[in-house]
Amino acid sequence: MHPATPPSAILRVLVATAALLWAMLPGAGPALAQPEAGPAEISLGWRDLGLAPDMLLGTNTATEFTVPVPAGLNAVRLRGVMRAPTNIGAGFLEVSDRSGRLLAAVDLPAMAAAQAAVPLDIDVAAAQVQDSSIGLSFTVRPTDRADQICGPVQQLAISELSMLYVGADPPPTTVANFFPPVLEQVAVYAPVDADAAEQQAVLALTSTLSRRYQPIPLEVRVATLPRGALPPPAAPLERAVVVERGQAGLRVDNPGGPEAFLRISGRGDELTAQTSLLDTGLQSLAQVTAARVDQPGARDDAVGDTVAFAQLGIQARADVLRSASFNAGVDRAALGSGRIESLRVHLLADYTPVAPKDSATVTVRSGDEVVYTGMLDESGRLDTTFELAGAALPQRVGLDFTVTYTPGQECGPFVAPLSFQVDPESTLTVRRGGGPLHGFGAFPSEFAGDFYVGLDGSGPNQLVHAAAVVAALARLTTAELTPKVVDFRSAVDSESGALLVANSAALEQTPLNPPLSGNGSSVSADLPGALRAEVDNGLGSIQAFADPARDRSVVLVTTTGAWTLVDPLFGYLAGLDGGWSALSGDVLAAGTAGVPTDLSIRGADAPVDDETAGESRVPWLWIALAVLVVAAVATLGLWAWSRRRSTDRDA
């Protein structure tokens, strides 16, 4: 006999039944429907948009920025962090669009510990969109006018800037719109058994995309797929490209859908030729789903030995009251493929004439070296010449200006700043010469133009490693870097710059003399006082060194053990602020613990030929190698301890 059902249970059944019947009645559905989700939000940092994430604003002077608006998206909010202003008692930040429409006025934080940094969140949805961008103008308005004219410098710092967009990144439909102005990642897929032509096309595409998207830090990621396989769908603001031999052309497969990807195909040289459509900037003409390049074009990037600032895109100006600093420069590779022994700078500039009772100066530095200093006078014209050589010639040749201006009259509202502007007719004259450069700082200029790529085939991801190096170097220059894939031995023996990916066994069969070598657990450092060590399971390394016998410089990716040892090195390189340019030595190495170490074995400039200098570095190298050994031992110990615990539990 079943127990009686409680009244509360009967009531719950009746209520549920009534609700179900109500939902089935006409007109009842909308009352119970869930609200539709709003448009998707995408937040992009200003660095991802090719803009500096920080700004330093003066007072009562507009500072303007052009912010990209990707297709399908609308810019709705500007976010960042406002720091406590310097020497401003009270005031507000005024933000307008390019038409002058006021978007927001935000009170400045007070000079107090509690407001040392406050969030900035501004509605910019009303900003005028033009040419796929919005213009934003920032002006700091002090309301406390004390010391406004001649007092201490008044500044407001804003950092961590980002833009919030709403909408959806539309899937590509044509070759022309496949690579939009703003992207976060391009995944390039090659066959697992890629031949030399496919490898070269992948590296050429990697170089082109990394260079053309500057200053946006586009991630070009190379991966492998079984031949004929389809790539996984790309996420918003990402694209997928398949490079594979076949009928020549570029074709967007699955256009307009979430699984759209670009197929680049051809055989032999015609495969790389297809990428020239992107390299020459003529992609926008291919407003169809498929196109074919019959004859590759080439840009005329050649520069003479004397080149004007205007041709290099160098420009700089400032308004100065008391002091102002600014920078102008160019990357070394943009000055041509020949080596540079020195540069003669013919600097021209215009400025507000300086009255005799006033005082003004200009100082120019390159790196840590002062290359020019002088007084500004009534002429309003600067015309001077100076030389840059040695330490003043890094990969980015920069001129750091400091201009001072002190009015002789009593401070008042009629005091005006001095205006200083570099004349674009200023010139750089290159003196060619010199031997091959050594260390990470030798690149990308040592690869300017064509360079060889050689893979020994001992590892499954050698093309991936080579592409990571090419991308890291191409991001540092506006000059074209053209990788040429050849067989490993030809790359070793050539007299052109070379990127080599090979294990230690293959290197032992070559005349190369890298800073760090070895096989298995045995590691040797090339110092006058020979250094040898035993490192369990070996080391993976990225090395950059001069090869004087062939008058060139080499980048080497190698391992004395498993190829997985080099994986942490590329993760470390990708995470560096500045990427390749942040490396300081000639060897980046890691052991089984995966802890990268930046070493300087031969020094940054040239191979060591002085015994004393070599011996002075031996203790430091021992310390660095000891760190790698300890890390490897710790990893093995942890693995053994974990295994022992697991065995004890099973027992």
Choose between 412 and 86: higher pLDDT.
86
List the structure tokens of 440. Answer: 């990470």
With the C-alpha atoms ordered 343, 577, 497, 510, is the resulting torsion angle positive or negative?
positive
* Closest by CA position to 486, among listed 193, 53, 195: 195
Q: Is the pLDDT of residue 609 over 50?
A: no
Three-state secondary structure along 421-443? EECCCCEEEEEECCCCCCCHHHC
Q: pLDDT tier at 111 (50, 70, 90 boundaries)?
A: confident
* Closest by CA position to 380, among listed 426, 414, 412, 423: 423
Task: Judge if the upstream peptide bond of residue 444 is cis by omega within 30 degrees of 0.
Answer: yes
- Measure CA 577 to chain center: 8
Question: Which residue bears the tokens 């990788």?
Answer: 483
In this prediction, residue 407 carries a pLDDT of 87
Question: How many alpha carbons fall within 13 Å on the CB side of residue 73?
Answer: 29
Rounded mean pLDDT, 288-311: 82
Q: Is the pLDDT of residue 149 over 70?
A: no
* Closest by CA position to 394, among listed 450, 432, 457, 437: 437
Q: Is the pLDDT of residue 435 over 70?
A: yes
In sequence order, what E strands does 560-641 have? 587-590, 597-599
**pTM for this predicted structure:** 0.82
Choose between 182 and 38: higher pLDDT.
182
List the structure tokens of 489. Answer: 């031995």
Choose between 479 and 497: higher pLDDT.
497
Choose between 518 and 639: higher pLDDT.
518
In this prediction, residue 280 carries a pLDDT of 82
Question: How many alpha carbons fall within 13 Å on the CB side of residue 477?
Answer: 31
* Closest by CA position to 379, among listed 349, 343, 412, 424: 349
pLDDT 10s digits, 320-361: 878 888 999 888 888 877 888 899 999 999 999 999 999 999
pLDDT 10s digits, 225-252: 999 999 999 999 999 999 999 999 999 9
Question: Residue 483's beta-bridge partner residues?
Answer: 451
In this prediction, residue 615 carries a pLDDT of 40
Task: Judge if the upstream peptide bond of residue 215 is cis by omega within 30 degrees of 0.
Answer: yes
What is residue 563's DSSP assignment? Answer: G
Q: If one looks up domain 312-429 in CATH, what number appears?
A: 2.60.120.260
Q: Is the pLDDT of residue 179 over 70?
A: yes
Q: Is the pLDDT of residue 633 over 70?
A: no
Judge if 41-167 and 185-291 fold alike in CATH terms.
no
CA-only gyration radius of the chain, Å: 30
Choose between 637 and 171: higher pLDDT.
171
DSSP secondary structure letters along 25-57: STT-HHHHPPPPP---EEEEETGGGTS-S-EEE
In this prediction, residue 606 carries a pLDDT of 44
Which amino acid appears at position 55 of this protein? M
Ranking 162-171, 186-195, 251-260, 600-609 by mean pLDDT, the lowest is 600-609
Ranking 37-46, 107-116, 310-319, 441-450 by mean pLDDT, the lowest is 107-116
Choose between 91 and 7: higher pLDDT.
91
- Domain residue limits, the chain: 41-167, 185-291, 312-429, 440-638
Q: Is the pLDDT of residue 632 over 90?
A: no
In this prediction, residue 651 carries a pLDDT of 46
What is residue 510's DSSP assignment? Answer: S
Rounded mean pLDDT, 134-151: 78
Q: pLDDT tier at 496 (50, 70, 90 boundaries)?
A: very high
Ranking 129-143, 283-297, 335-349, 608-622 by mean pLDDT, the lowest is 608-622
Domain 41-167, second-level architecture: Sandwich (2.60)
In this prediction, residue 528 carries a pLDDT of 55
Choose between 528 and 472: higher pLDDT.
472
pLDDT 10s digits, 535-572: 678 899 999 999 999 999 999 999 999 999 999 999 99
* Closest by CA position to 375, among listed 390, 391, 358: 358
Q: What percent of the chain has pLDDT over 70?
A: 82
Alpha-helical (H) ranges within 393-528 are: 462-474, 488-493, 504-507
In angstroms, the CA 489 to CA 60 distance is 64
In angstroms, the CA 479 to CA 332 distance is 9
In this prediction, residue 602 carries a pLDDT of 84
Q: Is the pLDDT of residue 300 over 80?
A: no
Ranking 81-95, 158-172, 205-219 by mean pLDDT, the lowest is 81-95
CB 301 within 8 A of CB 448: no
pLDDT 10s digits, 580-597: 999 988 999 999 889 999
Q: Is 590 helix (H, G, I), strand (E, B) or coil?
A: strand
- Domain spanning 185-291, CATH class: alpha beta
Instruction: Return mean pLDDT, the chain.
Output: 84
List the structure tokens of 573. Answer: 């390189």
Choose between 150 and 447: higher pLDDT.
447
Q: Cβ atoms within 10 A of the Cβ of 39, count?
A: 13
Choose between 393 and 455: higher pLDDT.
455
Q: Is the pLDDT of residue 19 over 50?
A: no
* 302, 303, 304, 306 alpha-carbon torsion, rounded to 10°: 180
pLDDT 10s digits, 60-94: 888 999 999 999 999 999 999 999 888 787 889 99
In this prediction, residue 607 carries a pLDDT of 42
Rounded mean pLDDT, 117-122: 94
In this prediction, residue 145 carries a pLDDT of 64
Q: Is 391 helix (H, G, I), strand (E, B) or coil?
A: helix
